[in-house]
Amino acid sequence: MADYTLEQVPTGWDEAARFYDQHVASFTAKYARDAMDLVGVGPGLEVIDVAAGSGALAIAAAQRGAKVLATDFSSGMVGLLRDKAAALGLSNLRVELMDGQALDVPEGAFDRAFSVLGLMIFPDRKRGFAELHRVLRPGGKAAVVAWSKPENMRVSGAFQNALWKALPDLALPLRPPPWLPLTE
């Protein structure tokens, strides 16, 4: 088996789905809104949200009147998002269990394609980017949200400094997190 980190396998997200939704999704919602504003999302557009998680972008796009397919490889995230969509009465939001590196949708099916803090951790990001491109109609637009280098992230830097101050002998990870090469 390949050497994947916990965030690169479905079980890591299955177990964290509710925690993520309660403590992280509201933070990522701002990035989702900014991404949608950047490429334009509105009524009648066909939108795919790849690695949708608990649905910050998918829900907001559906509330803007787009027809949305939200995909994630975690059954925990998919179940959570299906429940949220049903509770909100979003009949224009469909949620499917799907690997973003091999989307089971036709070529050129969407006007807009997104991945908010998801594609950056794919084991094969090149395939993920290729799939986002493949599913776009000619003239379609995509937006991918990813973290910056740790030194550019104030919260991460503050956390790292506090951790090293409290634990000066803490060893660095053997390899960088999977999302870091996307920033280089």
Strand duo 93-97 + 110-116: pairing = unpaired
By CB atoms closer than 10 A (0-12, 13-18, 19+), residue 82 is middle
User: What is the residue-level pLDDT of the chain in tens, covering all 184 positions?
Assistant: 355 555 565 566 667 778 777 877 788 899 999 999 999 999 999 999 999 998 999 999 999 999 999 999 899 989 999 999 999 999 999 999 999 999 999 999 999 999 998 888 888 889 999 999 999 999 999 999 887 655 555 555 565 666 566 667 655 555 555 555 555 5
Q: What is the pLDDT of residue 1?
A: 37
- Whether 36 contacts 100, CB under 8 Å: no
Whole-prediction pTM? 0.79
Using DSSP's 3-state secondary structure scheme, residue 45 falls into: coil
- pLDDT for the residue numbered 118: 86
Tokens of 43: 């009524």
